[in-house]
């Protein structure tokens, strides 16, 4: 979804839009579908599936950082990508925990949306695709 984002839309904004869309449609891509709690238990109980999930998270983070096409010595895209991916993992994990505990989607969704909208790496002001060029950074003072 990042590479196919809307004109003028940052990678962060595209991810946020995609996340909110998945929340509203209960799409499987973030585990919001019915039965995701069962699948989460299966993954948790399988070392190979857990390892694959970890690999998928890492790949998503690297690909997001690569979208910035920044100087290889600039850690900013990697830092922002790590924050964005941590927000996604945290929100989806909290959803799974609540579903496994027996909460119904209609109780979870409003809280999830509020937290997703408040999460600073996913705010409209953050952008992984427009890091400050290395030459424009000056030490304080």
Q: From first to last of the 141 residues of the chain, give the pLDDT tens digit.
A: 777 888 888 888 888 889 999 999 998 888 888 888 888 889 989 999 999 998 998 998 998 888 887 888 999 999 999 999 999 999 999 998 999 899 999 999 999 999 988 885 544 444 434 443 433 434 444
| CB contact at 8 A, 70 and 128 | no
Please report the pLDDT score of residue 28 as a whole number. 86
Residues in the chain: 141
For the entire predicted model, the pTM comes to 0.74
- The pLDDT value recorded for residue 122 is 45
**Which single residue is written with the structure tokens 């979208």?**
67
| 132 in Cβ contact with 84 (< 8 Å) | no
Using CA atoms, how far apart are residues 52 and 22, in angstroms rounded to an integer?
Answer: 22
- At 128 the pLDDT is 39
Q: How far, CA to CA in Å, does 131 sit from each of 48, 70, 89, 135, 138?
A: 36, 7, 23, 11, 14
């Amino acid at each position: 979804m990042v590479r196919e984002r809307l004109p003028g839309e940052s990678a962060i904004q595209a991810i946020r839009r995609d996340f909110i869309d998945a929340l509203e449609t209960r799409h499987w891509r973030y585990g919001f579908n019915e039965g995701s709690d069962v699948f989460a238990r299966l993954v948790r109980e399988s070392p190979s599936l857990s390892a694959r999930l970890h690999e998928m998270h890492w790949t998503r983070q690297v690909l997001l950082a690569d979208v910035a096409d920044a100087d290889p010595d600039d850690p900013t895209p990697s830092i922002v990508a790590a924050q964005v991916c941590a927000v996604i993992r945290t929100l989806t994990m909290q959803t799974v925990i609540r579903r496994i505990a027996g909460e119904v989607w209609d109780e979870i969704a409003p809280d999830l949306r509020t937290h997703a909208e408040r999460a600073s790496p996913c705010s409209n002001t953050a952008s992984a695709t427009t890091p400050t060029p290395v030459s424009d950074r000056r030490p304080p003072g």
